[in-house]
């Protein structure tokens, strides 16, 4: 093995002579210009380590923060909300400029596909009941069990106890449970709730959990980190150290340190960089897909185990712009779609297009439609569950046809629904630089008995104990994984590791 590594490094060294003549050999390479990579860069810079380069595979910075314009409004293709206030680095950094705004969750409007025989208040009753069951389990159950298994058992028990004497309620409660179990995938992004662990190491930051950006969108946090906001004249020279469209496809590192560069990084366009330290920030999804070919030598077994066992799923946000608002315009809309058993069966015949499996079609993964705000003509369709990867592959035309089928089924009697004329979405799962949306604790990772995020965060060391290949990114945060604040904390953490070794 060692022979192979040496051979590879010799090969790389030869190519560096060719390629790096016009490159400054940086002492730190940061892979990825998402929030963790930018946070690491700013911390290094502010502590006097200025000899670094950020290699970013995409043609933009921000990673899973992706605020962009759609029909004259800012939409968030990625992160949208700051979750919590206390001990939340995003809140701490941004709140001083008065650009954050906690908001109330808009009232859910549960819609039933079979528009007759529906008592909407019953769905609220069920929502509260199932939330209570979930909260109880979350706070009291320590056994390794999936959220899906726990909820199916306990909610079905509760349904039987409460509604056994009312045939119609019994049926609708079972249908609502099917909705609820897919609906919850939106929060943690697993393709199935049967993969998500009920007990978690995750710690919520106290305070409002729904905080939006008053202007500029989530990308404001990158400007704040780089000191471009509030005063652009004071910005740190971080962006000039970012190389876009530089996809790293090989990371070779030497275990035996001999005071020269320890790490060689190759990009898919043939450049090779050498560095003393590397901070790796791409997503767990990228690691799952590439670690075997990316690292020379291979990553240690415990890290590979953590990569395999931790969960990384995807949700899909589809922004659609309607020429005119056909929904009640006084309020924001928040329609949630609950299917009756008969309509699920009918759907297979009425709309047989797109992916389906065991009598379930992708339309069941379109869970809700929410307006951006009360004055907007843009609404977001939220999709979660097993079909998300396949929904990403559908044409815009088919997605709109599917949404129109759903809207007419649920709301056609009440409103004169017009066809949207523009659609915007980002395929997070398809994109090889993300491979999904955010990480979660799976049942399998929980069975390991210790935080697998912490294992993922462990640096690779040289034989004399120097930390040289460092891991940041949301999935390496043991208590705030899956969030932007969690990602930023890990960038700071790994930059600090380098700063500490230099003192």
Q: Please report, as ranges, the residues that interact with ligand FAD according to CB under 6 A.
A: 31-37, 55-58, 63-65, 78-81, 83, 247-248, 281-283, 286, 315, 317, 428, 433-434, 437-438, 473-474, 482-484, 487
- Minimum distance of ligand FAD from residue 174's CB (angstroms): 30
Whole-angstrom Cα distance, residue 191 to residue 361? Answer: 14
Minimal distance, residue 489 CB to ligand FAD, in Å? 10
Q: How far apart are CA 202 and CA 464, in angstroms?
A: 34
Report the residue number, 36 or 197, with the smaller CB distance to ligand FAD: 36
Start-to-end CA span in the chain (Å):
34
Nearest-approach distance from CB 490 to ligand FAD, in angstroms: 7
Nearer to ligand FAD, 64 or 254 (CB): 64
Q: Shortest approach of ligand FAD to residue 255 CB, angstroms?
A: 22
Enumerate residues 6+ apart whose C-beta is below 8 A from 224.
Answer: 93, 94, 97
Distance, in Å, from the CA atom of 284 to the CA atom of 304, rounded to the nearest integer, reads 11
Please, which residue, 303 or 317, has the CB nearer to ligand FAD?
Answer: 317
State the minimum distance, in angstroms, from the CB of residue 297 to ligand FAD.
18
137 versus 282: smaller Cβ distance to ligand FAD: 282
Q: How far is the CB of 44 from ligand FAD (least distance, A)?
A: 15
Q: Output 122 or 481, the one with its CB closest to ligand FAD.
A: 481
**Minimum CB separation from ligand FAD for residue 253, in Å?**
16
* CB nearer to ligand FAD: pick between 37 and 190: 37
Please provide the DSSP assignment of 429-494 as one string: TTSTTTSSSEEE-BHHHHTTSS-HHHHHHPPEE-TTS-EEEEE-SGGG-TTTTTSHHHHHHHHHHH
Least separation, in Å, of the C-beta of 143 and ligand FAD? 28
Which residue, chain included where needed, has tokens 């523009």?
A: 422
- What distance in Å separates the CA atoms of residue 73 and residue 372, rounded to the nearest whole number? 10
Number of C-alpha atoms within 13 angstroms, CB side, residue 404?
Answer: 16
Other beta carbons within 10 Å of 239: 16
The continuous run of DSSP H or E covering 276 comes out as none
**Cβ 24 to ligand FAD shortest distance, Å:** 18
151 upstream amide cis, omega within 30 of 0: no
384 φ, ψ (degrees, to nearest 5) = -145, 155
Q: Distance between CA 147 and CA 142 in Å, rounded?
A: 12
Residue 65 or 411: the one with the smaller Cβ distance to ligand FAD is: 65
Contacts of 465 (CB under 8 A, 6+ apart): none
Closest CA to 196 of 204, 186, 206, 208: 186
- The nearer residue to ligand FAD, 317 or 360, going by C-beta atoms, is 317
Compute and round to an integer the Cα radius of gyration of the chain: 24
Query: Measured from the CB atom, is 29 or 363 closer to ligand FAD?
Result: 29
Quote the least distance from Cβ 2 to ligand FAD, whole Å. 26
Distance CA 462, CA 454 (A): 19
Would you say the C-alpha torsion 38, 40, 45, 51 has a positive or negative sign?
negative
Please report how close the Cβ of residue 155 comes to ligand FAD at its closest, in angstroms: 26
Closest to 399 (Cα-Cα) out of 427, 376, 371: 427
Closest CA to 343 of 351, 355, 335: 351
Question: Given the complex with ligand FAD, which of 332 and 482 has the nearer CB atom?
Answer: 482
Nearer to ligand FAD, 386 or 453 (CB): 453
């Amino acid at each position: 093995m060692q022979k192979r590594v040496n051979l590879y490094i010799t090969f790389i060294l030869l190519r560096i002579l060719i390629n790096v003549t016009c490159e400054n050999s940086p002492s730190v390479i940061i892979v990825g210009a998402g929030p963790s990579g930018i946070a690491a860069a700013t911390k290094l810079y502010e502590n006097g380590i200025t000899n670094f380069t950020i290699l970013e595979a995409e043609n933009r910075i921000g990673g899973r923060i992706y605020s962009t314009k759609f029909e004259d409004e800012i939409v968030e293709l990625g992160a949208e909300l700051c979750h919590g206030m206390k001990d939340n680095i995003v809140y701490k950094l941004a709140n001083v400029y008065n650009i954050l705004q906690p908001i109330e969750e808009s009232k859910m409007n549960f819609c039933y596909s079979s528009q007759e025989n529906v008592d909407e208040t019953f769905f609220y009753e069920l929502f509260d009941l199932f939330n209570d069951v979930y909260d109880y389990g979350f706070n009291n159950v320590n056994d390794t069990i999936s959220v899906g298994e726990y909820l199916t058992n306990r909610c079905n028990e509760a349904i039987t106890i409460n509604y056994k004497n009312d045939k119609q309620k019994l049926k609708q409660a079972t249908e609502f449970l099917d909705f609820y179990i897919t609906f919850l995938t939106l929060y943690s992004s697993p393709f199935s709730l049967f993969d998500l662990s009920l007990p978690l190491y995750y710690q919520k930051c106290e305070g409002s959990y729904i905080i939006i950006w008053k202007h500029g969108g989530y990308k404001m946090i990158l400007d704040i980190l780089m000191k471009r906001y509030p005063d652009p004249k004071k910005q740190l020279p971080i962006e000039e150290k970012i190389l876009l469209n530089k996809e790293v496809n090989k990371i070779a590192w030497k275990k035996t340190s001999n005071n020269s560069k320890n790490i060689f990084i190759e990009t898919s366009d043939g450049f090779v960089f050498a560095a003393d330290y590397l901070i790796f920030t791409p997503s767990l999804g990228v690691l799952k897909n590439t670690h075997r070919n990316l690292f020379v030598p291979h990553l240690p077994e415990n890290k590979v185990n953590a990569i395999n066992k931790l969960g990384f799923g995807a949700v899909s946000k589809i922004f659609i712009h309607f020429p005119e608002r056909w929904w009640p315009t006084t309020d924001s809309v928040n329609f949630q779609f609950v299917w009756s058993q008969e309509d699920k069966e009918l759907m297979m015949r009425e709309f047989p297009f797109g992916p389906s499996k065991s009598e379930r079609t992708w339309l069941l993964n379109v869970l809700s439609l929410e307006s951006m705000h009360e004055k907007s003509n843009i609404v977001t369709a939220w999709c979660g569950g097993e079909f998300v990867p396949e929904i990403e592959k559908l044409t815009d035309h088919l997605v709109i046809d599917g949404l129109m089928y759903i809207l007419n089924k649920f709301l056609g009697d009440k409103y004169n629904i017009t066809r949207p004329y523009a659609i915007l979405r980002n395929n997070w799962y398809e994109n090889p630089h993300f491979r999904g949306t955010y990480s979660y604790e799976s049942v399998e990772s929980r069975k390991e008995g210790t935080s697998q995020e912490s294992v993922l965060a462990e640096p690779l060391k040289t034989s004399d104990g120097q930390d040289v290949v460092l891991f940041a990114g949301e999935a390496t945060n043991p208590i705030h994984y899956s969030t932007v604040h969690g990602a930023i904390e890990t960038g700071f953490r790994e930059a600090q590791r380098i700063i500490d070794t230099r003192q």
